Structure 1
Amino acid sequence: MSVFSGFHLSEKPRIVTPAIPGTRSQELLALQQQIEGSIVSYPRSIPIAIERAKGAIIEDVDGNQFLDFFAGAGVVNLGHSNEEVLAYVTAQQEKLIHALDFPTENKLSAIQKILAHLPEELRDQYKVSFGGPTGSDAIEAALKLAKIKTGRDTIIAFTGGYHGMTAGALSLTSDTGFRNRITSLMPNVHFVPYSYCYRCPFKLEEKNCKMACVDYLRNVLENGHSGVPKPAAIVIEPIQGEGGNIVPREGYLEALVKLAHAHDVLVIFDEIQSGFFRSGEFLAWMHTGAVPDIITVSKGLGGVGLPLAGIIYRKDVEAWGPGAHIGTFRGNQASLAGTNGAFDFVDKYNVNDHTKKAGEYLINGLKELQENSSYIGDVRGRGLMIGVEFVKNKHTKEPFPGMVKHFRNECMQRGLIFEVGGHYNNVVRLVPPLIITMPIIDAALDVMKAALEICESAVNGERVAVL
Structure 2
Amino acid sequence: MTSHPTGGPDRLPQERRVVTEIPGPRSQALQERRAAAVPPGVGSVLPVYVTDAGGGVIVDVDGNSLIDFGSGIAVTGVGNANPRVAARVRAQAERFTHTCFMVAPYESYVAVCENLNRITPGDHAKRSILVNSGAEAVENAVKIARYATGRQAVVVFEHGYHGRTLLTMTLTAKNMPYKHGFGPYAPEVYRMPLAYPYRWPTGPDNCGPEAAAQVAGEITSRIGASNVAAVVIEPIQGEGGFIEPAPGFLPAIAEFCRANGILFVADEVQTGFARTGDLFACEHEGVVPDLVTTAKGIAGGLPLAAVTGRADIMDKVHGGGLGGTYGGNPLACEAALAVLEEIENEKLTERARRIGETMLPRLRALAARHDVIGDVRGRGAMIAIEIVRDPATKEPAPELTAEIARRCHAAGLLVLTTGTYGNVLRFLPPLVIPEHLLHEGLDILETAFTDHPTP
Q: Secondary structure at the match of 1:62?
A: coil
The offset of 1:366, in angstroms, is 1.2
Match in the other structure for 2:63: 63
Shift of 1:118: 3.1
Contact kept in structure 2, 1:376 and 1:388, CA below 8 Å: yes
Letter in 1 for 2:338: G
Q: Alpha-carbon deviation of 1:209?
A: 4.3
Write the distance in 2 (CA, Å) between the matches of 1:92 and 1:222. 51
Partner of residue 222, structure 1: 220
The question of whether the paired residues in 1 share the 8 Å contact of 2:377 and 2:384 is answered with yes
Decide which moves more: 387-396 or 1-10: 1-10
Note the C-alpha offset of 1:72.
0.7
Q: Is the Cα–Cα contact under 8 Å of residues 239 and 274 in structure 1 kept in the other structure?
A: yes
Amino acid across the alignment from 2:266: F
User: Is the aligned partner of 1:113 residue 2:115?
Assistant: yes
* Structure 1: runs of 5 or more not aligned: 461-467
User: Which residue, out of 385, 392, 399, partners 1:402?
Assistant: 399
* Cα distance change of structure 1 residues 8 and 279 upon mapping to structure 2, 3 Å threshold: farther
Q: Is the 8 Å Cα contact of residues 234 and 268 (structure 1) preserved in structure 2?
A: yes
CA–CA distance in structure 1, aligned partners of residues 109 and 187 of structure 2? 35
CA distance in 1, matches of 2:15, 2:172: 36
What is the distance in 2 between the residues matched to 1:407 and 1:210? 31
Q: Deviations over 1:297-345 (max 9, x none)?
A: 111111x200001100001213202110221001100100011111111
| Structure 1 residue 8 displacement after superposition | 6.7
Provide the TM-score with structure 2 as the length reference: 0.95
- Structure 1, 106-115 or 423-432: larger mean CA deviation: 106-115
Question: 2:157 is matched with which residue?
Answer: 158
Q: Check the 8 A contact 1:25/1:62 in 2, yes or no.
A: yes
Are the aligned partners of 2:130 and 2:306 in contact in 1 as well (CA < 8 Å)?
yes
Native 8 Å contact 1:375 1:393 kept in 2:
yes
Q: CA deviation at 1:439?
A: 0.7
**Is the CA contact 1:296–1:311 (under 8 Å) kept in the aligned structure 2?**
yes
**Which residue of structure 2 lines up, in the alignment, with residue 187 of structure 1?**
187
CA 1:161 to 1:8, structure 2 compared with 1: closer, same or farther past 3 Å? farther
Alignment of 1:6-405 (within 5 A): 6-7=9-10, 9-17=12-20, 19-42=21-44, 45-101=45-101, 102-119=104-121, 122-131=122-131, 133-177=132-176, 178-200=178-200, 203-209=201-207, 211-223=209-221, 230-302=227-299, 304-318=300-314, 319-405=316-402
CA contact (8 A) 1:13 1:67 kept: yes
Per mean C-alpha deviation after superposition, the further-off stretch among 154-163 and 32-41 is: 32-41
SS in 1 for 2:389: coil
Query: Distance between the aligned counterparts of 1:241 and 1:117, measured in 2?
Result: 22
CA distance in 2 between counterparts of 1:183 and 1:334 reads: 35
- Which residue does the alignment assign to 1:440? 437
SS in 2 for 1:191: strand
Q: Return the offset for 1:358.
A: 1.3
Q: How does 1:407-446 map to 2 (within 5 A)?
A: 407-446=404-443
Call closer, same or farther: CA 1:8–1:238 in 2, change over 3 Å: farther
Distance in 2 (CA, whole Å) between partners of 1:8 and 1:367 is 34
How far is 1:286 from its partner? 1.2
Instruction: Specify whether residues 234 and 350 from structure 1 end up closer, same or farther in structure 2 by C-alpha distance, changes over 3 A only.
Output: same
| Cα deviation, residue 99, structure 1 | 2.9
- Change in Cα spacing, 1:3 to 1:144, as seen in structure 2 (3 Å) is closer
Equivalent-residue separation in structure 2 for 1:297 and 1:226 (angstroms) = 28
- Alignment match, 1:459: 454
2:208–2:249: 8 Å Cα contact kept in structure 1?
A: no
Indicate conservation of the 8 Å contact 2:295/2:305, yes or no. yes
Give the letter aligned to residue 308 of structure 1: L
Question: Counterpart of 2:125 in structure 1: which amino acid?
Answer: Q
CA 1:326–1:333: 2 relative to 1, 3 Å: same
SS at match of 1:249: coil
* Structure 2: gaps of 5 or more residues: none
Measured in 1, the distance between the counterparts of 2:443 and 2:358 equals 14
1:393 is displaced (CA, Å) by: 1.5
For 1:463, the equivalent position in structure 2 comes to none
Q: Distance in 1 between matches of 2:226 and 2:120?
A: 33
Which amino acid in 1 is paired with 2:29? E
On the 8 A contact 2:225/2:260 being kept in 1, the answer is no
Query: Size of the alignment, in residue pairs?
Result: 448
Alignment check: 8 A CA contact 1:219 1:226 kept: no
State whether residues 29 and 47 of structure 1, in contact with CA within 8 Å, keep that contact through their aligned partners in structure 2: yes
Contact 1:136 1:166 in 2 (8 A): yes
Partner of 1:465: none
CA distance in 2, matches of 1:170, 1:73: 18
Secondary structure of residue in 1 paired with 2:454 = helix
Matched to 1:294, the amino acid is: L
Give the drift of 1:100: 1.8
CA distance in 1 between partners of 2:446 and 2:219 (Å): 47
8 Å contact 1:13–1:414 — kept in the other structure?
Answer: no
Alpha-carbon distance in 1 for matches of 2:248, 2:448 = 37
